Structure 1
Amino acid sequence: MRLDKFLKISRLIKRRTLAKEVADQGRITINGNQAKASSTVAVGDELMIKFGQKLVTIEVTALRENVKKDEAETLYKVIKEEKKDE
């Protein structure tokens, strides 16, 4: 599954266009490698996403085309959340 689509379906990022922008800015890595919006995400992959002052590391636990809002969190597991100090 494409990275931008996974981020939208899992509701980590609300819109696919915004997910694409974040990836294009180099703020997402998959298993330590720089990721593009078109990068493929697989179960077991570790994503590191920089949200402003926050750095979130998640593990992909499932991939599905459609998911209800209350089930979105079943697609990933948060490994760690860090606040970056400026």
Structure 2
Amino acid sequence: MRLDKYLKVSRLIKRRTVANDACDAGRVLINGKVAKAGANVKVGDVIEIQFGSSTVRAEVTSVADHAKKEEASDMYRLL
């Protein structure tokens, strides 16, 4: 699954366009490397998102095309 879509479906970022912009700005890392919006996300990857002065680290636990609001937090584990 594309990184920008995963960030939106998992609700780590609310909108796909915002996720795309964050990737273009170099604020999203997968396994310690800067990732583009089209990068492939798989189970076990560690995603790091920089929001201003704070950073969110999450490990991908599942990948799904659609997720309800209640199920979205089950797609990752915060580190």
- For this structure pair, what is the TM-score category when the shorter chain's length is used for normalisation? over 0.9
Q: Secondary structure at the match of 1:59?
A: strand
One-letter identity of the residue aligned with 1:60: V
Runs (4+) off by over 6 Å: none
Give CA-to-partner distance per residue, 1:25-79, whole Å, 9 cap, x none. Answer: 0001100111000000000000110011211111000000111001100000000
Asked which structure has the greater CA Rg, the reply is 1
> What SS does the aligned partner of 2:43 have?
coil
Amino acid at match of 2:33: N
Structure 1 residue identity aligned to 2:8? K
Tell me the residue number matched to 1:16: 16
Distance 1:32 1:62 in 2: 19
The TM-score with structure 2 as length reference comes to 0.97
Equivalence map 1:71-82=2 (5 Å):
71-79=71-79
Work out the number of aligned pairs and report it.
79
Q: Percent identity?
A: 52
Residue correspondence of structure 1 range 29-40 to structure 2 within 5 A: 29-40=29-40
Unaligned runs of 5+ in 1: 80-86
Gaps of 5+ in 2: none
Q: Give the alignment's Cα RMSD to 1 decimal.
A: 0.5
